[in-house]
Structure 1
Amino acid sequence: MSAPLLKLSGVHTHIGAYHILHGVDLAVPRGQLTLLLGRNGAGKTTTLRTIMGLWRASAGTITFGGQGIAAWETPRIAQQGIAYVPENMGIFADLTVKENLLLAARGARTAAQMDSARLEWIFRLFPAVEKFWNHPAGKLSGGQKQMVAVARAIVEPRELLIVDEPSKGLAPAIVNNMIDAFAQLKASGTTILLVEQNLHFAQRLGDQVAVMDNGVVVHAGPMAALAEDEALQQSLLGLSL
């Protein structure tokens, strides 16, 4: 098998006096969708923020495309082709949908300079982005904001897309739309790392899965194998798919 696009080995993270990650080992294969599951407080969001350099790893290594990035600042990490959608989506509420996407399109100063073919593709993935193109992003519903957040992350081609709980609080119809969009993103060759609590979402999309508990990865393997093993689901997650 080829080397993973992203790999964490023995990663520890301290936030102030708190020791949150206790030696995380995680491999994200190139071109696949990897799910990071676990109970609340297991360390999933801290893992994503540590990958992005928003919190600094106190020990261990993080490699992306074979390069060590654990000591890099967040802008340099993003410039390598990694996009991150945080749990709170990070939408600029007073800007229009168009202006939110333009901020992420580094090669364009105006909307007319944005890649029109890529925009058309994004509009097909998320019709609401086109519908509300000139509306203030803060006026949109939660599901529409999530679509804008993901669209902004992919307005330029990315090697790796990292998303924290994309289905949280969304209506079932919006969740299904999001599942379809991520399936198309994966089919386009984008490598994806998702934190997710919706197990239907996880089962539909996941190629690989890693389950966290108390700041470490306690299980890693194919998502299909976890989906078929109810005893393992109960043991790891306290519930079944």
Structure 2
Amino acid sequence: MWLKITDLKAGYGGKEVLHGIDLDVAEGEIVALIGPNGAGKSTTLRTVTGLTAASTGSVTFRGEDITSRSTGWLVKRGLVLCPEARELFPGMTVLENLRLGSYAVRIASQEYDRRLEHVYEMFPKLADRQNQLAGSLSGGEQQMLAIGRALMSEPQLLLLDEPSLGLAPMLVTQMFELITTINARGVSVLLVEQNAVASLDIAHRGYVIEAGRIVGHDDAKKLATDPRVREAYLGGV
């Protein structure tokens, strides 16, 4: 497995939030992690990427134990988080924010230019606004910038935390189309989303998390038709 999480436990301030998570992502997959607010979805991503310390359990990436490794170390090995809050630098330009995405991997100028061209090809609006301050962009444009910054490191596994949050319905559709495009270009994806319908529609497999525990796991299409999942997360549709 590309990513394998085994019996992972973690929390904050002495309070355990994850109670033994088991989850994996194969090379080339989109895997969706769905569940209610406060279930531990974002904490799972933060623990995988070293932003939250694991208390027990293990995380391996491409066969290597990465449990509690630093975020910068992981980026160099191709595992990158695009956070829920985007965490852009609003007082810096679009181009400056994108440049930061390649900082940890220390690439040559020619390679930097190639990656930047690739991001601009995927997000033409960012090219048009490259000298504009990130803080002046619309919500959709800021999300494009956050993902574009993550792509500047050319991840092999991209962790996306609520990429459609706060976007207009038309932009939500475009965002999920973009995720499938990224995956088609060879990037595996672990997707955390409140929009369970759209997530399972593009995912290969899915996991359901409740109160820090995985309570369901199956092929995405099977999960989408599971009566319990439909009632709890898909509005009973």
TM-score by length of 2: 0.93
Match of 1:26? 23
Q: Which residue of 2 aligns with 1:45?
A: 42
| Aligned equivalents of 2:20, 2:187: Cα separation in 1 | 27
Instruction: Check if 1:58 corresponds to 2:47.
Output: no
Take 1:44 and 1:204, find their aligned partners in 2: how far apart are those partners? 19
Shift of 1:32: 0.7
82, 85, 98: which one aligns with 2:82: 85
AA partner of residue 138 (structure 2): S
Among 6, 10, 13, the alignment partner of 1:9 is: 6
For the Cα contact (< 8 Å) 1:105–1:114, is it kept in 2?
no
Whole-angstrom CA distance in 2 between matches of 1:129 and 1:139: 12
Aligned to 2:200: 203
Question: How much does 1:130 deviate?
Answer: 1.2
The CA deviation at 1:82 is 1.0
Instruction: Specify the alignment match of 2:235 in structure 1.
Output: 239
Quick check: 1:160 aligned with 2:133? no
RMSD: 1.7
Deviations 1:86-114 (A, max 9, x none): 110010101100000111123458xx645
**Secondary structure at 2:142's aligned position in 1?**
helix
What's the CA shift for 1:173? 1.7
Against the structure 1 CA distance between its residues 56 and 188, is the aligned structure 2 distance closer, same or farther, given a 3 Å change threshold? same
Q: How many residues are treated as equivalent by the alignment?
A: 235
Question: Mapping of 1:133-144 within 5 angstroms?
Answer: 133-144=130-141
Structure 2 letter corresponding to 1:240: G
Q: Give the corresponding residue for 2:129.
A: 132
Code of the residue aligned with 1:237 in structure 2: it is Y
Q: Distance in 2 between matches of 1:108 and 1:226?
A: 41
Unaligned stretches of 5+ residues in structure 1 = none
Q: Distance in 1 between matches of 2:59 and 2:214?
A: 15
1:98 to 95, 100, 108: 95
Identity, in percent, stands at: 37
Distance 2:111 2:166 in 1: 31
Q: Distance in 1 between matches of 2:34 and 2:201?
A: 14
Q: TM-score, normalised by structure 1?
A: 0.91
Segments of structure 2 that go 5 or more residues without pairing to the other structure are none
